[in-house]
Amino acid sequence: MYWGEIAALTAAFLWAAGSFLFTSAVKRIGSIQLNIDRMTLAAVFIAITMLAAGISFNCTKNQLLYLIGSGIVGLIIGDTALFRAFREMGPRISLLIYSFNPAFAAILAFILFGEKLPFISIIGIFLTLLGIILVVTEKPRNDNPMNFKVTLPGVLFAFISALGQAGGLIFAKYAFNDSYIHSFTATFYRISTSVLLFLPLGVLLKRYVNPFKLYSRDKKSFKQISIASIIGPYLGITLSFFAISHTKLGIASTLLATVPVMILPMTRIVYKEKLTLISVTGAIVAFIGIALLFA
């Protein structure tokens, strides 16, 4: 049974669903506040789950170091660079460059772990990436009032975000290869250590305020972030860690990168947006690629 592949696809779907709530909340409270609070809530949810289910918090020193590295490279550097790329160029071009992170992950996995992919899987990755590119490169129907342009800093930040995502998965893979560790345990240490490192930075930059005061005035944002934290970091990261420990990194990272495709039917249902021929074609191509990854 393809449990790793199923977990990766489920994680991508959950991230897509959570993104709607995060997008709504970030406009009111800011990206740094949201990132720290969502990770804090996710760490609390995971800790409660582990205590209730009797899951061990034990891990080796090497695993802890790898997971800290995964959080720094993936959650702090990677996500921060992606948000900066959004500011420079907008989400469309940024996500286009970011969507190449599976290729980076597959190359790094081959170099570091000797993971070789069969030819049909390589074709599947290629088609999936092609489908994602078709979806994210489609020009919006209305002119963008922000007048985003492709800039060298924006391209560099987008590439850093793609490398950060790939590097974060590589560090996590090292942790799972070191010895057995439960996916919830790995997720807890990756997220909680990222919060401990990111929180002082947010305070120093004066981009993080007392969450109790903030959410006492904005209960809607707290509700949205709480639900999205369960859907995204809590379940999404845990399932993505399960995926990379049960299938090859190139395949897992490709399936995890299908979030832009997963969002399409949600935007149709939630926002009643019409799906264009290009976006539908991109989705079909991506899912053909996904099917080949299960072959």
pLDDT, tens digit (0-9, with 9 covering 90-100), for 214-262: 999 999 899 989 998 998 889 999 999 999 999 999 999 999 988 878 8
DSSP annotation of 141 = S
Tens-place pLDDT, residues 16-46: 888 777 767 777 888 788 889 989 999 999 9
- Is residue 107 predicted with pLDDT exceeding 90? no
Residues of the chain above pLDDT 90, percent: 51
Tens-place pLDDT, residues 250-266: 999 999 988 878 888 88
| pLDDT number for residue 228 | 87
How far the first Cα of the chain sits from its last, in Å, is: 11
- Is residue 137 predicted with pLDDT exceeding 80? no
Residues of the chain above pLDDT 70, percent: 95
Confidence band (pLDDT; 50, 70, 90) for 143?
Answer: very low
Confidence band (pLDDT; 50, 70, 90) for 145?
Answer: very low
The residues, ordered by sequence, that sit 6+ positions from 194 with a Cβ below 8 Å of its Cβ are: 39, 71, 72, 75, 76
- The mean pLDDT of 46-59, rounded to a whole number, is 96
Q: Is 148 left (phi over 0), alpha (psi -120 to 50) or beta?
A: beta
Separation CA 194–CA 7 (nearest Å):
23
Separation CA 206–CA 214 (nearest Å):
14
- The mean pLDDT of 84-107, rounded to a whole number, is 80
Q: What value does the mean pLDDT of the chain take?
A: 87
Question: How far from chain centre, in Å, is Cα 290?
Answer: 18
Separation CA 12–CA 155 (nearest Å):
24
Tens-place pLDDT, residues 154-209: 889 989 999 999 999 999 999 999 999 999 999 999 999 999 999 998 999 898 99
Confidence band (pLDDT; 50, 70, 90) for 71?
Answer: very high
Separation CA 168–CA 244 (nearest Å):
11
Tokens read off for 37: 């609070």
